[in-house]
Structures are given as structure tokens and as C-alpha cells.
Amino acid sequence: MSNVSTIFVFDINRTPSSPNPTDEEVQDAKLLYYYPEHREVEERRSHLGLIEGLLVLLASFTKHKIDFLRTKLFTTTISEWCDGIYLVVCFKNEENSWNEMAEYSHHWKHYITKVVLENAKKVFELLYGPLYDLLHASGGNASSNVEHVRRAFEDFLPSFITKAAGDSFHILNIWNASYKSHAGALSALDAQALIADLCSEFEAVHDYIFIHNKEVLHSSLDLDNMLALYTYLIKHQGSVSCQHPNAITDVQVSKQRELCMKPLADGEGVGEAHIMKSESGDAFSPKVHINGQAYHLGVVCMGDLYLVLLLHCDDVMFTLSSIKEYLSGAPNGMAALLKSLSHTPVASKLRTVSLNSVTKTIRSVGYNDVDEKALRELQIIRGIHHLIESSLEVITRMHVRSKQGWCSAKVSNGREMYLTLPSESLSLTDVSGAFNDFVKTFLGGIYFI
């Protein structure tokens, strides 16, 4: 999608420790991290000074933050991490970037790169802890804390952002939401019974998420922490491996490769439980930070059913192996649950998107593969969503006609439903009637519960 040219993090409020610092020392103190490191010091200072100047200038006119800056050669995306600390990524513009039909339009590219930065911050703090706490850790002085954070940034940011920005990021993933499973009540009860038995058998299990076919079936975590894990494991496939493992010298950095899941091969995991492995072949068990506590993250999978576990234990491999054996042997184990899971049939010709801002969930039908037509439909849906967000008390229903056909939308109690109809020859009355019939038939008159 985009080529990463520069990544840097700076603290606009940080000052040097020397009593009479020079202007250069003041700028150097603010810069917490810069990639690539071979850039000249003067170029780094110039880059930092440009962004800092824009932030200060903009603050004198408006309370709104600057999101991105586009020039002929580069697009710079800016995201505030915490008070006064900014993550900045510079992307090199493609030569054919003016061809909107080649991929996403400029607007969507900018928006998606913004999402990549937000996900980078979220996953970094999941794996390393809150940035503010790292910079103000009581165990070391300010200089050693900054050096520790710099190594963590070097360990994580280039590989994660380069991979995420280089992938063809699905447009539906730009919402800060997880896919929600609409399994039957009996299947949901089976999942709850299985995890209740597992927790009573293994005290090491602290929290869990059941994910089936990339949809959240059941979770014990609060919404924000669940979304952070979902973003890491599902949206970015647990991938934060180092770009240059041969150049690794630090012991802690070398363990970074263990943070990358190895995708299941075709046919693997069918009929029996497996422990998710890392790219190095060992158990996938990185440490994650949830509400100030560190846990081992383990995943036991069977087919497209994943049980994500937060474990408090000394021997994580032994614990995961014991859990795998238990889930494989129990009469109501993963095999029985996987067999009971089924999705409510939906007419294959329908294209729908449902959003719930209360539970931060999303559901789509007909958009697994995004071709040119589907992309334009999703752009229209996203545009309507922006209008709804800015006019919540005004807009309750909308029908939009375009060259692609019609898109109907309804909003109620934080829930949004979108239905696209490919025929532009339909009248507004026909479209409204078709939308009402759709809601009545498939949702019983209740929008996305």
C-alpha cells in the first residue's frame, strides 16, 4: 500500500539535563527515536523542527490536531501518542498515486495509514506496557528509561509499520471494532461451559477470548483490552517479527521473533487441537501487558476456532500442553464446540455492513473479497458513517444513489445498518421498501443487536 521512508517519535516537552543547553541539544533531547538511524543528525533535527513548528502554528489557530501533511514526494502522518508525545511516519508517494482506480484513493490511503499508526501504538503498549510508564519507570533514571524505550521502538516500530503499511489493508479493518460472532444460543452456552470447566481445572488461566472464523464468540476481557488483542492477533495476524534478524545482538531483541505467529498450513488443526506456534517453531507465547499486569499469551486452535488465553504461570509450555490435552480429550471440548458452531444463512446476493458503537463490533456480508465495485460501495458507506457521526441527532435514515446503485442506511441507539442495492434504476420508494423488508426478514426489526 505505501513505502515507509521515515519513522520518529518525539516529546515536545522534554528538555536536556544540562544547565545551559544549545539549540541543537534542545532538539536532540526531544527526539526519542528516529528510523532509519543512518540519517545525518542535521536532517533529523530539520525533520523534527518542521513537524514541531506545524504543531505549534496550528495550535494557535485551532484545537484540532494535524493528521497528515502531503507534498509532491512524501505524505507524513502524525499521531499523538500521549500528552506531548507524537508518532510520525513519512510515506513515499507512489509514482502512479494519481491513478485513483489503481488502489485506494488519496483520502483512503491517508486514513488507512492513520489507522496503521493507531494500531502500532495499541499493539506496542500491549507487548511492552504503557509508553508513559516506560518513560517514567522508577527503576532507572530518565536517560536509561529513554534508552530502554528507544530499543523497544527499534525492536517493534519499523517491522510492524512497514509490514502493516505494505499489506493491502482491508477497508473494513479501519473501524476500531471487532467482528462479532452471531452463533446460536446453544453454541454460545457450549463455549461458556467449556471455558468455565477449563478455568476451574487450570488456575493459570486468567482471561480468555474465543474466536471463531475471525469473529469474537466469547470473551472475559473488557472491551478496550479485547480490541487490542484482537487487533494484534486477527487484524495484524500476530506479526511483529524483526526485519533483519541476522543483525540482532541484544538478547531481549532476539526474543522479538517469538512475537510472530506462524499461520496454520492448509488442513492443519482439523480434528485435533494445536498450540499456535511462532515463526521459529516454538510455542507462540509472548508476554502481554493488561491493566498493569504481565501475562503469557497463548493460543490453542482447532481449525478456525481459536482459544486465546492470558496465563499466569512459570512454565508456559507445560501449561499450554496440559490445556491442549484437556481440550482434546474432554467430551465437550473444542471438537464438540466446533461442530456445534454454525452461522445463520444469509442470502448470498446481499451486501450489508452493520456497526455497533456501544460494543464496538462490526459485521459484513458480501465483502470478503473487495473488488473495484465493492471498494466504491464501502467508500460510500464510510462517507455516510462520517455524516452520521457528525449529525447523530439529525440523521436516522438515509438513501444514497450513485453509479454503483443505491446504499441505504439506518441509525438507532448507536447501531448502524447499511444495505447496498446494485440497481440504480430502482426508485426511492422501491429502495425504501426493499430496505424495510430486509430489516424485517433478517433482523426482526431490531438493528444489529
Chunked into runs of 10 residues, the chain (449 residues) has average pLDDT values of: 84 87 89 91 90 86 80 87 93 63 56 85 93 84 88 90 71 77 81 92 94 90 91 82 41 48 62 76 85 91 90 92 89 84 59 84 80 81 80 77 86 84 82 83 52
Fold matches, 3-172 and 178-340: yes
How many Å separate Cα 427 from the centre of its chain? 39
Residues listed for the chain: 449
Residue 86 is predicted with a pLDDT of 95
Residue 249 is predicted with a pLDDT of 34
Contacts of 38 (CB under 8 A, 6+ apart): none
Residue 361 is predicted with a pLDDT of 86
Residue 266 is predicted with a pLDDT of 57
Determine the Cα–Cα distance for residues 388 and 393; give it in Å rounded to an integer. 9
> Where along the chain do its domains lie?
3-172, 178-340, 351-443
Please tell me the class of the 351-443 domain: alpha beta
CATH topology of domain 178-340: Beta-Lactamase (3.30.450)
Please tell me the class of the 3-172 domain: alpha beta
